[in-house]
Every structure is written in C-alpha cells, then in structure tokens.
Amino acid sequence: MVGGGAGALIGNVHRIAARMDGEYVLVAGALSSTPERSAESAARLGIASDRSYADFDDMARAEAARDDGIEAVTICTPNHLHFPAARAFLAQGIHVICDKPMTVSLEQAHELAELVRQSDALFVLTHNYSAYPQIRQARAMIERGDLGDLRLVQVEYAQDWLTEASGSKQAEWRGDPAKAGAGGAIGDIGTHAFQLANFVTGMAPDQIAADLSSFVPGRKLDDNANILMRYASGARGMLWASQVAPGTENGLKLRVYGDKGGLEWSHETPETLWFTPFGQPAQKLRRNGPETVEGLGRLSRTPAGHPEGYLEGFANIYAEAATAIRARQAGEAPPDGLATPGVDDGLTGLFFIDACIRSNAQNAAFVTVMP
Amino acid sequence: MVGGGAGALIGNVHRIAARMDGEYVLVAGALSSTPERSAESAARLGIASDRSYADFDDMARAEAARDDGIEAVTICTPNHLHFPAARAFLAQGIHVICDKPMTVSLEQAHELAELVRQSDALFVLTHNYSAYPQIRQARAMIERGDLGDLRLVQVEYAQDWLTEASGSKQAEWRGDPAKAGAGGAIGDIGTHAFQLANFVTGMAPDQIAADLSSFVPGRKLDDNANILMRYASGARGMLWASQVAPGTENGLKLRVYGDKGGLEWSHETPETLWFTPFGQPAQKLRRNGPETVEGLGRLSRTPAGHPEGYLEGFANIYAEAATAIRARQAGEAPPDGLATPGVDDGLTGLFFIDACIRSNAQNAAFVTVMP
Amino acid sequence: MVGGGAGALIGNVHRIAARMDGEYVLVAGALSSTPERSAESAARLGIASDRSYADFDDMARAEAARDDGIEAVTICTPNHLHFPAARAFLAQGIHVICDKPMTVSLEQAHELAELVRQSDALFVLTHNYSAYPQIRQARAMIERGDLGDLRLVQVEYAQDWLTEASGSKQAEWRGDPAKAGAGGAIGDIGTHAFQLANFVTGMAPDQIAADLSSFVPGRKLDDNANILMRYASGARGMLWASQVAPGTENGLKLRVYGDKGGLEWSHETPETLWFTPFGQPAQKLRRNGPETVEGLGRLSRTPAGHPEGYLEGFANIYAEAATAIRARQAGEAPPDGLATPGVDDGLTGLFFIDACIRSNAQNAAFVTVMP
Amino acid sequence: MVGGGAGALIGNVHRIAARMDGEYVLVAGALSSTPERSAESAARLGIASDRSYADFDDMARAEAARDDGIEAVTICTPNHLHFPAARAFLAQGIHVICDKPMTVSLEQAHELAELVRQSDALFVLTHNYSAYPQIRQARAMIERGDLGDLRLVQVEYAQDWLTEASGSKQAEWRGDPAKAGAGGAIGDIGTHAFQLANFVTGMAPDQIAADLSSFVPGRKLDDNANILMRYASGARGMLWASQVAPGTENGLKLRVYGDKGGLEWSHETPETLWFTPFGQPAQKLRRNGPETVEGLGRLSRTPAGHPEGYLEGFANIYAEAATAIRARQAGEAPPDGLATPGVDDGLTGLFFIDACIRSNAQNAAFVTVMP
C-alpha cells in the first residue's frame, strides 16, 4: 500500500475491502509522507519493519527484487502522487490498484494510459460505485434492451461536508490545486458520477456544458458543478456534483430513461434498483432478489435483505482485481463478466475534468469532451 | 366557467377545488367549443340553460348585464384562449381565475398584465402547487432566514405520459403550437417548476441556459428540457422538465440549499417538507405538525396524518381568491399572508418560455430571462 | 346534518366530503347541543334559520313533513347520540349516513340493525378508510385470488394525540364512557382497523385475545390495545391500536399475506399499494395506475401522481351513498361494485369492542367475537 | 471454526466478520460433519491440513495442546451442536464465539451458563443485530431517558423463505426438532427479535402470550408466531416472527414508545434511527451523523452516507469480542461501553422459546417467561 497512513480515511477502506474476501494480505507499504510516520503506521498495521518504505520508488524497487515481493500495490495517496507512484510500480511489473481521479492532468493521464498499454501489469481504478450489485444489474438490463433506446440520463452526487470552510486534512489537500488537480467537486465526486453514468448506460456524452461555482470564500476549486450533457445518439443528460448541499451525505443518484422504461438507483439505498417499464407498475429489484441477472451472484455475500453496502462494493473491485490478476498470472484470459474499471475510465475522467474547465471558461458553452 | 366541458380533465379539478370550501357556486358557463356540447355539459353540471353560452364573449356581456351575474370566472380552456377570454371578462369588471401558462406569447402576456393593471377586477393564476401548505412553509422558512444565504436550487418536473406518440385530446392540443404556444414541456410543466422555485426562494434567475429536445418523432414542441439557472445573488440552479421519463407520474420536486441548511419537497409526498439544518439531523416537517409557521393553519382542513393532496392545494388557490375577492368587494385590503399567484407570475412564466426558446436557438447559451 | 357544529373537527370533514362531487346540498341541521349554538353554526354554514333545529327529533319530524324535506341526514355527533338520532330519522324514512362506532353498546347495535332491516331507508356507516381506491384494489386482488389462501393479517392504527392527558373537547367526550361507550382506542380507531382488515380480506376473525391498557393516569378508557386474532380458516392476525405512540399521526397500516403473495398499505402514503407475489419483485401499484382493477376508476378524480387523500376517500363514501340512494329512489338495485359500509359493519364493530372488553377481563384469553 | 463448511451460509458470514478488522486469522477448523468434507473445506480456506479436525472434541484437545493453539473458536453449526461444542472448548479454556439460539433446550442453557460462570474463557453469542450502530444509539438514548418512561414495544421479524415447503439444506435442519430445538421461527428469528427489544429497552417482559402456527403442511415447527408481551413496569409489547410472509426479506423492525417520545428502526435501512420526541418534528438520526452518542464512533468504519450493513454489524460483535479477549488476556477489565451479547442473552432466549411453547400449549394464555 502507498498512502493510507494514520488519519487517512480512504486507506482503511482499501484495507477492509482487500481483506473482506481473504484474497489479499498487507505485507509492505510506504504509508505516509515521512519515513517516521510511515514506520509508525506500518507497525500498527502489522507490516514488518523492513518492508515499511520511505517512499514509493524505494518500495517498488525493493519489492520487485524480493522473491516474496508484492504482487500488487494499492495507491491511495492524494491525487498528485497517483501518477508517479503508478509509474514506479508498473515499471517493475507490479499490478496497480489506484484511487481516482487517476491523475492530476490530462497529459499525465495520456502518459499513464500509454504506460499501462506497454506493461504486463494490470491497472485497476477504484471507481467503487460501479461495483455495487444493483449497478451491475442496471448495466446488464440496459445492455439487453430493457429500457429501449436511451433518451435521458440524470446523475447527481451531492455532499455537504464543504458547506463551510474546513481545515481538515481531507479538505486541505482536496482544495489545493497542486495536490488535487484542476477539479474540486468535479474531480472528487464528479468523476464518480460521470463514470457511473457511462458505466451503466454504456455510452459517454460527446458534449458537455459546465457551470462551476466556488461558494465558500477563499476556496480555489469548484465546490458545485451544474452540467448539461449531450450524447451522440441524441440522448441528453444532466449531472450535478456538489459539496455544499446541507443535509446530503454521500448522495450519488442515477436515473436513466429510454423509450421503453426507466431505472433509478440511489446510494442511500444501494440494494434497491427501481425498474419502471413504461405502462407497467414500478418494480423494486433487490440485490440477490428475483430478476437478478445471471452471473451477478458472485458480487453478493449474503441473501437479499441482509444489507450490504459501501465496503462490500469496494471489496467487489478488489475481488475482481484478484480474479484478473490470477488469470494474468496463469496466462489466461480473465473470465467473462468482469467489469473492473481501469485506465480507460481514468482517462475519460480526466477528459471530463478538462472539458468542465474549458466549458466553464466559455460561459458554460457546450464543448466536446474528447476533442 | 369557460372551458372544462365533457372530457376535460382540468375542468373537473377546478370545479372540485371551487366547491371544496363552499365559497363558489357554478351558475354559468361557456364550457365547450360548440354551443351544443356546451349546453350538454352545462345541463349535466346543473347550469340553467339560459346561462350556458355559445362563447365567452357572449357570456361576459350577458353575465355583466344580469343583476345576479357571476362575480368571478374560471378560465380552463386550452392555452390560446386564455388571453381573449381573460380580456373579455376583465373588460366587464368580472374577476378572473385563469389556468397557466397565462398566454401563448410574451406579447399577449404583456398586454394582459396591462389590462389587469387598469382593471378593478382581480386576476388569479392557478399555479396550484404553490398553495400546498408545506410549500408555503418552505417559503416562510426561507424568508425568515432558516437556510441562510441561498446557493443552490434544484427543481424538476417529470412525467411519462408523452413517452410514446399519443392521440389523446390532451396530447393533441398540448402538442399543437397554435393552441399551446411555443412551449411543450416547458410551457405545460416547466412553468410550474419555475414558478414554484421562484415562489419558494423569493428570487428568479436572471439568466438561464436551456437544452430542449423532442424525442418522439413528429412532435412539434419540446418534450424534455434540461436547464441551467443563474441568479443575480450568485446562486445557481438546475431545472429539469420532462414528459418522456417512464415511471414518473407527476414528479415535481424542489430542493433548495443555503449556507445554513437545506429544504426538500416532493409532490409524491406533499405533506412532508424535509429540513436539513447544517450539522444537525434532518427534520421531517409535516403539514399541520409541530414547527408549522403561524398563519398556515388556514391552508389545512384536517390534522396532520390525514393526507391532503392535489385537490386541497388547488382549493387553497380558490379559497385565497375568494378571500381576496371579498376584500376587494368590501373596498378593503386583502388580509396579510395571502400569496395567490397572479399576473406577475404569468408574465414571468412567459419570459421563461421565451428565454428557453432563445437559449435553445443559440446552442443552449446563457440568455437573460427578462431582457 | 346532526352534530358537526362550531369546533367539531369531523363535521367539517363530512361537509367537504359531501360537497366534493356536487351530490349533496346542506339545507338543514341540528348542529350543536344547544339551540343557540346550533343556530349560530347554521347561520355560518348558510342554513336557513327555519331549518336549524334544537334537536334531532324535531328535525326528523319537521323535515319529514316538508315537501322539500331532506332526503338524507349525516350524523356526526359524539357516539352516544348515534343510535337515538339514527332511530329518529329511520323512523321517518330518511336515509342515514352515520359516523362510527355505530352505537355505544352491542344491544343498541342489534336494535339499530333491526330498525334498518325494517326500514325503507338506507343506512351508511362512514368507515371512510375502506373507500380509498388502493384499499378497494387490495380487496379486489384478494377476492380474485392474487394472494392465494390467506394466512396472516397484520393491522395497526397508531396515533399520539393522547400521549399526555388532554383537556380538548375531542379528548373529553372520547374519554367519557357515557359518551364514547366502553371502548377508548378500540372504539375510536380499533373499529376502523378491524373493519379495514375484514373489508379487505373478506373475512372476520372468530376469536380474539385483547390486552388493553390505559397508560395515562385518570384515563377511564383504554388508550392502547394489543390484540391477537384467529380466523376460522386457520389464518392468524395481530391488531394494534394506540393513541399513545409519540410520532405517529394517523398511522393506519394493513399487511396481508397468503401462500402466493402479500399486500401492504399504509395510510401515510394511501395511493400506493405494495404487491409482493412470492418469488417475484415487489410491485408498486398506484391509484389509477397500471394494473388498476376495472371499475375502480370512479373512485378517482385525477390521474396517478396527483395525490388524493383522506377527504377524497371520505367523499367516496358519500358518492357511493348518493348512488345507492338514487337507485333506491328509482326502485332499482344499486349498480354492481358498490361496497359502502353499512349496518353490518357497525354491528361487527360493536361485537369487536365487546369481545375486547370480555377478553381483557379474562387476562387476555381468546374469546369468541360473535358468541 | 466449528461448522461453516462448504454450502453453509452463515460460516462465510462469520469469516468475513472476523476478517473485517484484521483481528482474527483462521488457522484451524472442524468444518463439516465428515472428516473428508471438513478437510476439503479446510483446504479451500487455507487451513493447514494438520489443523483440520474430524470433530470438535479432537480439535479442542489438540489445539489446547499446541503452543500456537487457537485463542478463540467460532461455533456456527446447526443448533444442536452448540452446546457440546461450546462445552468442549470452554473445558480447555478457549474463548467461545457461538451462534444463536445458544442451545436446543432450556436445560442445556442452564448447564452452559454454569460452565461459563466456572470458566476463565469468555462466551460471546452472535446476536449480531444488537451491534448495529443505530441500535446502540437507540439503547443509549433510552438509557439516558430521551423517551421517558417506556410504555410500548413493537418488534417484528418477518421473512418469506419458508412460504413454501423447501428441501434446502438450511430449511432441512432448521425444521428438524432434533437439530433446531423446540422452536422454528421463534428460535431462528424470534430470539433475535426478543433479544433486540430487550437489549434496546433495557428490560425483558415477565409475561408473554404466544400463538404459534405451522402453515405449511408437514412442517414440524412453528413458522409464524404472534406474541403479546407484558413488562413488570406496566409496559406492553407485541412480537411478530414469521417465515411465511411473502415479500419480506429479513424484516427486523423495532419501535419503542415512552411518555416523552418514540424510536423506530428497520433492518432494511439500518443506518437510520427515527427519533420522535412528543410534540416535535421527527428526526432522522444517521450512523456517524449529528447527535451520535459519544463512544459509538468505534462501531463505524466510514462517514455517514457510506452504507454499512449486516456484515459490518456482525464484525462489530467480533471486534468487541477481540477487545474483551485482549483485556482478559491482559488480566484487565474490558473497556467501558462494550455491550457484547453473551450467555445471559442466550439463557433468556431459551426462556423465551420455552415460554412460547408453554403459552401456546395453553391456548395462548399469558405465562411467566422465567418461572
């Protein structure tokens, strides 16, 4: 693990997700920005002292040189270190599981995509929301045509933790362009919403118009984004990402409508997918319930009605990564049905951030996402 | 009553709303587009045959000439007749209660606004959603500062009845620019959403950007509108109006966020207003419940927990109109607290439709709403 | 109208319900317990002074003697007057619409049932909840076998307004055995819950076991009832009625399960009926939505998604009563599909109250409901 | 681990729960009823072959004899093996984490309670629902008096998986009195509901009346239980446990009302606790949200809005057990605030089952729970 030392929220999430299904053991790390704090965190996590590294470059080299060196690394640092850390491990042929957004610039994203293409190692991006069973269900239903031709996409991701100026460690680096990149809310949560909508619908907008705001005085990056989307097919969409909406917690919501029906999913109740075939009663589709698409059972650990949530969704990313890594190690193709997000999702995310910035600079005019 | 003959959905709604509190008796009408059908409807509704008129001009003149002539008229025709009918009755000093959108063009709206200004008669526009008790509660809470400075407005109105091409009477005139005006979804339901957001927040956007679509082949007017909004205060908003979202019924929803808290209201559960003060638990505010703002009791007919809905909200418009009419007849000012929508809301609605059309013609660029 | 003068909650509900569809005009009344207050209320409601009566006996006689005398009377007094008032009007052949519980004793209920049997006049009991469209939908679905053989009935009616001792007019007479009868919560709301369950399932328990409590010191009647039910078919049930459950408002809920599926309805969202066929996704059945059983359209006034509620349900009782009265006046059978509650529901309700009292006196042993 | 071999649902749940926080490593097991199947499961789970045992007696002896022997054992067999297995490990001083119901008879429960009292080892019973953060919140709020004097307890646990006769492995042993004990639904889920209500309210009923049914032909144990409860304080309650309610999944719900307010919790949305102080708006209390009682943070792994569920609740039991075991090993008292269910909960559960059987045999008369 790179990053994720003491006080890091997301580091513990990655560790639990990795541990959940018994597929990973944490044996090495460069957990913090100083050797001392890294060592301290390592000790607390049961990492042997000789495998606690001062930085990720050391770690990549040293682990690659060991017979029992790590097979995969998780990168959960602030955004600006994703690229150099991923580069270091990919260069050693070590599989990379990386947090999002993938990089802090579109240029880096292109470069990383190229490195992945040339590497034997796998690159997995933890767009964890796309691994919720009912999100996979939605994707499968759209793919098989249950909604007909898609017309409308409504996606939003609303939080309230930046309603006021905050001095928390989280808020600090996420609000600093040098560490977070050019996107505030659009990078932190907008990329999740964008990826989720694309993942479920199987299409990405070719044009977007973005109206970005920074409501809190002194804030350097956007804390709210109101976005219109246009798809090549003629479909239309809206995306709202906000970190200043009091009362929302981690409010990711997706609604998709076609000419035959609609689907609705909300992160607050992630195990329910509403299916609304036109002219018929709404159906409440539940994780592991009736109508679950074949093959999705592997993403569930318990029967319907035993709430699974965020950590289990995150663990699904790790489980899929493990499956893909095993297949790669065996020289086999990964089994059908894996849908682990990777470098393409990361690149698309950076195109999205870039397009938001460009559109906003032009008074929210529509711009091409991937020019 | 003008319009509202056999087969008209909204005519019966107006009649029930007028009857609910015992303040109105239906005694005269020009209910349909032909004298025969008007007479037939009139007979069924218990209107004396000599007070069933062939058209609204006759009716306005004849009723004005009677000692027991009507005091007020309800206009619930297709949109294109709102203006000439309203003009006819205002000219006779008869109070007008009119359906929305107020007219089929901005020019007509200006003209009608002028006529109302010059008339002794009152003009009420049935933006019925603004008379739900919990909408009034929201407005009062924002006015007194419970949300702090407003930052975000999210409003939507989604239906599905035009998902497929429809030959119903309703669909026919609403899809015909000659009868409906330049707006499809934006006129029929977008104006409601726009008025509601303005009514509750006490402010109207000065700029909007509108991306309009007509998804169903052959449809002449928009059936979906994705809209961004900017307010002079710096606040931002989004408005979605759709008639092609399968599974939605009459899905009007409003969310408003300020720097101190948020409010959320949905038409599917109109008696609940969610209040989310920043850093405190969400509160479920119920019609006639604890925390109900003083003076709103008059908009309720039963205790909390006895569901009131659409017809009662509509009836509140009629009750307020009755109160205003009585005050006018007595030469007095209306009592404090009335908030009946009128000609200004109607004019704003036509500005909104016009701005949508202008923006859409410029590739969804931001345009000034009231240039 | 008898009862329903100034300050009466339910009187106004009856008036709105009667007015809603234009089938009734209020022309006479004995509205309060003194002639002065009756006259005052009558004047405010537009009743001619010569038709405001000092008591219901005078009213029954005088109206029967008039050529334009009333065709039907609504009785919405405290419970102890239901019987003598109903008797007076039935004796004159005037149709009776009466509030529940029907009488204050089982003996009176038997006597009234006999009077109704001998009379040409109709007797309607305003068990208003049984006229909600989705309750009728539930009844029709069970009747046609959608749930298979019924096994379980779960019904509850929870309120909180008597959590503390109350001096309100409502609380006063409802807590006085001389005016309310032997039942507190069981009479006031338990009878509603019992009737609703019976109405929907088409069966009544033959045995119940009731554990009654009076939590508030000084209260003479029960304010909470926990009840077990057994049906002749082998089905089992539970009924909870409470007026001391803080946070509940008017919380009537019904769940029924058979060997093929279940149904769930809650008064807080009365337009939704959940249908859960075993092994299939739950379906959200909406008033006037897809799957609405034929013939139920007449109980709706607006399309799905325009919330109708308590007053509309109450008005459905009045509308059905009007239909039945017209048929009776025409010497015809009432049209198919009417399901207006009447004297049998009232008698069953008194059997229920009596059985609760008997069971509670025997330490909540099971007793036969109709011995 | 004892039990939990291939095909066992709950075995995997225990393993994930143990793994979640990195406090346990699975090193030994007697996983199935035959040595071959045990070995097969052990191999798949990474247990060394010399630590896969033919039965729990062997395992207890052998592990106690090893220097690196297990510190704790999890027992997740069918019910009838809980007692002998627990006895075997307690005899060796090995800490026991055991599934519920604790034993198959009240006699065994008494005997086990005595063994635990005499042992240095800890005994933890996995009443996992009592470790949900919002359940702990409810308990703390009641303890500090937020609800005033308790009056009413409504608890239910409804499932539908036994609506029809089932030949599944799960259904088989749970329906066999020799393996499950005298209780069907009352043992399997009724004990959970009973424990939860007692845990949250801090009191247990002294009398209950139980009406048990077996709806499916050939079923030997109850599949539905309708139960009344009386508390020494005068409080009253109802408990419903069913496995034949189509459309319910794992529907555990608890509502508690006192003279100052109420609380409501449902397993379908386990992160929300509704607090309804009398005369004030309902508050939505969220896991890790505002108003979270001090000290409960340790039961959460993520911020509010990141759904945690069944596995995390289960893991909280394991985490608390680990804390208690460490304290015991260090010869210290466990830290304040642990509320891990143990042998007393198990004994109470068997009293409950026994009382249900006794009451049902007496036509559902009230019986004393702990005579």
SS3 readout for C202-246: CCCCCEEEEEEECCCCCCCCCCEEEEEEECCCCCEEEEEEECCCE
DSSP class of residue A188?
A: I
Q: Which residues of B touch A152 (CB under 8 A)?
A: 224, 242, 244-245
User: Above 80 in pLDDT, residue C7?
Assistant: no
Query: Cβ–Cβ of C305/B270 closer than 8 Å?
Result: no
Architecture of domain B133-302+342-361: 2-Layer Sandwich (3.30)
From the centroid of its chain, how far is CA D46? 27
Note whether B214 contacts A: Cβ–Cβ < 8 A.
no
More confident residue, D151 or C167: D151
CB B272, CB B134: distance < 8 Å: yes
Looking at residue A166, its pLDDT comes to 85
A270 CB-near residues (< 8 Å, 6+ apart): A132, A134, A308, A309, A310, A313, D307
pLDDT for D97 equals: 98
Interface size, chain A vs chain C, as Cβ–Cβ contacts under 8 Å: 30
Listed in order, the ranges of chain D carrying CATH 3.30.360.10 are: 132-303+342-361
Q: Which residue of A has its CA nearest to D287?
A: A249
Confidence at C167, pLDDT banded by 50, 70, 90:
confident
Contacts of B285 in chain D (CB under 8 A): 281
B165 touches chain A (CB under 8 A): no
Q: Which of C22, C250, C289 sits opposite B305 (nearest CB)?
A: C250
B57/B60 Cα distance (integer angstroms): 5
Cβ atoms of B287 and B308 within 8 Å: the answer is: yes
CATH of domain A2-121: 3.40.50.720
Q: Average pLDDT, whole number, for chain A? A: 96
Question: Looking at CA atoms only, how far is residue D109 from chain C in angstroms?
Answer: 30
Residues A286, C281: C-beta atoms closer than 8 Å: yes
Residue A98: other Cβ atoms inside 10 A = 26
CATH 3.40.50.720 residue window(s) in chain C: 2-121
Low-confidence ranges of chain D (pLDDT < 70): none
Length of chain A: 371
Cα→Cα distances B269→A366, C347, D269, Å: 36, 36, 19
Q: How many CB atoms lie within 10 A of CB A84?
A: 17
A172 versus A136: the higher-pLDDT residue is: A136
Instruction: List all chains that touch chain D, counting a touch as 3 or more CB pairs closer than 8 Å.
Output: A, B, C
**Would an 8 Å CB–CB cutoff place D234 in contact with chain B?**
no
What's the farthest any 2 CA atoms get from each other in chain C?
65
Q: Which CATH class is domain C132-302+342-361?
A: alpha beta
Nearest-CA residue of chain D relative to A290? D247
Q: Which CATH code of 3.30.360.10, 3.10.290.10, 1.20.1250.10, 1.20.1260.10 fits the domain covering A132-298+343-361?
A: 3.30.360.10
Distances (CA, A) of D337 to B26, D161, D320: 69, 36, 10
Other CB atoms within 10 A of residue D236 CB: 24
Chains touching A (3+ CB pairs < 8 Å): B, C, D
Helices (H), chain C: 9-19, 35-44, 56-65, 82-91, 106-118, 133-143, 169-174, 177-180, 185, 191-201, 310-329, 343-361
Side-chain half-sphere CA neighbours of A139 within 13 A? 22
Nearest to B152 among A151, A242, A282 (CB): A242
Look at residue A196 and tell me whether its pLDDT is greater than 90.
Answer: yes
Instruction: Please give the ipTM for the structure prediction.
Output: 0.96
Give the type of residue at C287.
R
CB < 8 Å to A133, chain D: none
CB C321 within 8 A of CB C24: no
Q: How far is B271 from chain D (nearest CA, A)?
A: 13
Residue B308 is predicted with a pLDDT of 98
Q: How far is C284 from chain D (nearest CA, A)?
A: 12
* C327 touches C335 (CB < 8 A): yes
| B273 has a chain D CB within 8 A of its CB | no
DSSP state for residue C336 in the 8-state scheme: T
Closest residue of A to D45, CA-based? A22
Enumerate the residues of chain C whose CB falls inside 8 A of the CB of residue D277.
246-247
Q: Binning pLDDT at 50, 70 and 90, where does residue A32 land?
A: very high
Burial of D49 (0-12, 13-18, 19+ CB in 10 A): exposed
- The one-character DSSP state at B77 is S
* Chain B, chain C: beta-carbon pairs less than 8 Å apart: 98
Q: Which of B263, B269, B284, B286 to mutate to test the interface with D (most CBs of D within 10 A)?
A: B284
For residue C122, what are its two tokens? 């109709």
Which chains form contacts with chain B, at 3 or more CB pairs under 8 Å?
Answer: A, C, D
**pLDDT category, C169, cuts 50, 70, 90?**
confident
> Are the Cβ atoms of D262 and C247 closer than 8 angstroms?
yes
Model confidence band, residue C8 (pLDDT cutoffs 50, 70, 90): confident
| B274–A163 C-beta distance less than 8 A | no
Distances (CA, A) of D255 to B232, C247, D152, D193, D307: 48, 11, 8, 11, 22
CA distance B246 to chain C (A): 12
> DSSP code of B289?
S
**What is the C-alpha to C-alpha distance for residues D334 and D327, in angstroms, rounded to an integer?**
5
Which residues in C lie closer than 8 A to residue B13 (C-beta atoms)? Answer: 301-302
pLDDT at site C168: 84
List beta partners, residue C76: C3
Looking at residue D84, its pLDDT comes to 98
Q: Could A160 and B215 be called an inter-chain contact, meaning their C-beta atoms sit closer than 8 Å? A: no
Inter-chain touch A20–D19, beta carbons under 8 Å:
yes
What's the rounded Cα separation, in Å, for the pair D133 and D273? 10
How many angstroms separate the CA atoms of A294 and A308, rounded?
19
- Domain D132-303+342-361, CATH among 3.20.20.210, 3.20.20.450, 3.30.530.20, 3.30.360.10: 3.30.360.10
Angle between the N-to-C axes of helices B133-143 and B191-201, in degrees from 0 to 180, rounded to the nearest 10: 40
Q: What DSSP line would sit under D14-68, residue for residue?
A: HHHHHHTTT------BB-SSSHHHHHHHHHHTT--GGGB-SSHHHHHHHHHHSTT
Q: Does D214 touch chain A (CB under 8 A)?
A: no
pLDDT score of C166 = 84
CA distance A141 to chain C (A): 15
Measured in angstroms, the CA of D292 and the nearest CA of chain C are apart by 20
B163: phi then psi, degrees, rounded to nearest 5: -55, -40
**Does C286 reach chain A within 8 Å, measured CB to CB?**
yes
Measured distance CA(A13)–CA(A7) in Å, rounded:
12
Query: Cα–Cα distances in Å, from C160 out to A216, C9, D176?
Result: 43, 17, 44
pLDDT surpasses 80 at A252: yes
Contact yes or no for D306 and A310 at CB 8 A: yes
Considering only residues A85 and A8, tell me which one the structure prediction assigns the higher pLDDT: A85
Q: Sheet with D72-76: list strands edge to edge.
A: D2-3, D72-76, D95-98, D123-125
Residues of C with Cβ-Cβ distance to A291 under 8 angstroms: 280-281
Spell out the per-residue pLDDT of chain B, length 371, in tens.
Answer: 999 997 778 999 999 999 999 999 999 999 998 899 999 999 999 999 999 999 999 999 999 999 999 999 999 999 999 999 999 999 999 999 999 999 999 999 999 999 999 999 999 999 999 999 999 999 999 999 999 999 999 999 999 999 999 888 888 888 999 999 999 999 999 999 999 999 999 999 999 999 999 999 999 999 999 999 999 999 999 999 999 999 999 999 999 999 999 999 999 999 999 999 999 999 999 999 999 999 999 999 999 999 999 999 999 999 999 999 999 999 999 999 999 999 999 999 999 999 999 999 999 999 999 99
Judging contacts by C-beta atoms under 8 Å, the chain A residues touching residue D286 are 249
Q: What is the pLDDT of residue B168?
A: 84
Q: In what order do the strands lie in the sheet with B95-98?
A: B2-3, B72-76, B95-98, B123-125
**Residue from B135, B310, B314, B316 whose CB has the most chain C CBs within 10 Å, to mutate:** B310
- CB contact under 8 Å between D13 and A302, yes or no, is yes
Among C331, C337, C342, which residue's Cα sits nearest to residue C109? C342
Asked if residues D35 and D43 have their Cβ atoms less than 8 Å apart, the reply is no
Q: What is the DSSP string of A17-60?
A: HHHHTT------BB-SSSHHHHHHHHHHTT--GGGB-SSHHHHH
pLDDT at C6: 77
D145 close contact with A: CB closer than 8 A: no
Confidence (pLDDT) at C235: 98
Distances (CA, A) of B151 to B127, B276, B315, B356: 25, 14, 32, 22
Element (H, E) at D180: helix D177-180
User: Using a CB-CB distance cutoff of 8 angstroms, which residues of chain D are in contact with residue C247?
Assistant: 257, 261-262, 264, 274, 276-278, 282
Give me the residue from B13, B20, B248 closest to C302, CB to CB. B13
CB of A287 within 8 Å of any CB in chain C? no
> Token pair of B370, please?
């009231």
pLDDT of residue B117: 97
Question: What pLDDT does residue D237 have?
Answer: 98
CA distances from C339 to B60, C136, D87 (A): 44, 9, 63
3-state secondary structure of C3: strand
Question: Given a cut of 90, is residue A168 above it in pLDDT?
Answer: no
The one-letter amino acid at D279: G
Interchain CB contact of D178 with C (< 8 Å): no
- Dihedral of CA D221/D224/D226/D230: which sign? positive
Distance from CA of C228 to the nearest CA of D (A): 7
Rounding to the nearest 10 degrees, give the CA dihedral for residues C147, C148, C152, C153: 50
